[in-house]
Amino acid sequence: MALLEVEQLRVAFGGATAVDGVDFHVDEGQVVGLVGESGCGKSVTSLAVMGLLPRRGVTVSGEARFEGVDLFNLPRPEMRRRRGSDLAMVFQDPLSSLNPVVQIGCQITEVLERHRGLRGEAARKEAANLLDRVGIPDPARRLGEYPHQLSGGMRQRVLIAIAVACAPRLLIADEPTTALDVTIQAQILELLKDLVDTEGTALLMITHDLGVVAGLCHEVNVLYSGRVVESAPAGELFARPTHPYTVGLLGSIPRLDLPIHEPLKPIRGSIADVIRWNDGCAFAPRCDRVTEKCVEGEPTLAGGAHTHRCVMEEAIA
């Protein structure tokens, strides 16, 4: 059974649709990628699932079910309880997610008290354990430090420690490595992978970088302008990318297996060059394979285990 099922998720800010009917699911212990350029709706999707969007001026519809339980209609205290113990989130920017004036130790023990009822020395011991678990050297000393005393990579480790403090069933990581340099990125990805392997935590990995997804995810969902345009097991997606947007994303990441002078091919235009999904394919203005058919109406999601939203592919299939 799916741990998390998101169906027809729509989020609008005033009149502006940010997420436009997103479907995906995460199975128990699975690593699922949500990939797309900046502005395509990744963060809004994850905040909606976590129940962290402001209520005022925001319209959320569709469903997010956790083990069959509809998260959008849970009473607030119940959702608060589940945040942390069932679902936890790691954000992109570790500095702004930590409280700058509170010692690292207190920020971890607070979570341990609230969700696991640990107090005093027991909580402190467990906090040190957690820091050790995420690869922070000299954990006992680190507990007494403030966020500014730690490097960016160490802060991200602290956030991961806080997120895993309650052994959540599902960890949502929203671009957890974007603010870090490349070697630290690799270490953090390794750490997340290790947590998944040893704790059996499911991971929803949100990133703009298909390279991050490659070694990590079982399933990948490619998002464009608020909709999933392609979804497949990772190996299948990399072997047979089908939607022109996915093909474009793959063409714009550096590859070690190509001749050194092979230029990278960025996707032309930007996510601002968009038409509404109701009128045709939102990617059409940037697509190299665009035809009149692409703007004659809404492309539907086709295919079985490997789905894609492209009228041309439908015609071929």
Q: Choose among Mg ion, ligand ADP, none what residue 164 binds, the Cβ cut-off being 5 to 8 Å by kind.
A: none
Out of 24, 42, 143, 248, the residue judged to bind ligand ADP by CB under 6 A: 42
> Segment near ligand ADP (CB under 6 A), from 33-41, 100-108, 161-169, 262-270?
33-41
Residue 38 found at the interface with ligand ADP (CB under 6 A)? yes
Of the two residues 44 and 162, which places its CB atom closer to ligand ADP in the complex?
A: 44
Return the closest-CA partner of residue 31 out of 286, 245, 235: 235
What are the helix (H) ranges across the chain? Answer: 42-50, 76-85, 94-97, 104-116, 120-133, 139-142, 152-164, 182-199, 210-214, 234-239, 244-251, 311-316
Give the H or E element holding residue 7. strand 2-13
N residues, the chain: 317
In angstroms, how far is CA 11 from the centroid of its own chain? 16
Residue 128 found at the interface with ligand ADP (CB under 6 A)? no
Residue 50 found at the interface with ligand ADP (CB under 6 A)? no
250-289 positions binding Mg ion, by CB under 5 A? none
Partners of 308 in the beta sheet?
Answer: 230, 302
Q: Per-residue string for binding with Mg ion, 22-61, x by CB under 5 A?
A: --------------------xx------------------
**Alpha-carbon distances, residue 291 vs 12, 249, 287 (angstroms):** 30, 20, 9
Distance CA 10, CA 60 (A): 6
The amino acid that residue 9 corresponds to is L
Q: How far is the CB of 48 from ligand ADP (least distance, A)?
A: 9
Q: Residue count at the site for ligand ADP (CB under 6 A)?
A: 11
Q: Per-residue string for binding with ligand ADP, 221-260, x by CB under 6 A?
A: ----------------------------------------
**Alpha-carbon distances, residue 264 vs 183, 202, 235, 251, 258 (angstroms):** 22, 33, 22, 6, 10
183-212 positions binding ligand ADP, by CB under 6 A? none
In terms of Cβ atoms closer than 10 Å to its own Cβ (0-12, 13-18, 19+), residue 233 is middle
Report yes or no: 177 and 189 within 8 Å, Cβ to Cβ: yes
**Alpha-carbon distances, residue 222 vs 31, 207, 228, 244 (angstroms):** 14, 10, 6, 11
Q: How far is the CB of 118 from ligand ADP (least distance, A)?
A: 34
> Segment near ligand ADP (CB under 6 A), from 39-47, 112-120, 186-194, 287-295?
39-47
Residue 44 found at the interface with ligand ADP (CB under 6 A)? yes
> Segment near ligand ADP (CB under 6 A), from 37-45, 117-125, 155-163, 298-306?
37-45
> Segment near ligand ADP (CB under 6 A), from 12-20, 104-112, 209-217, 228-236?
12-20
- Count of helix runs (H) and strand runs (E) in the chain: 12, 11
Out of 4, 6, 18, 164, the residue judged to bind ligand ADP by CB under 6 A: 18
Out of 22, 31, 32, 40, the residue judged to bind ligand ADP by CB under 6 A: 40
Of the two residues 176 and 244, which places its CB atom closer to Mg ion in the complex?
A: 176
Of the two residues 92 and 231, which places its CB atom closer to Mg ion in the complex?
A: 92
Q: Which residues contribute to the site for ligand ADP (CB under 6 A)?
A: 13, 16, 18, 36, 38-44
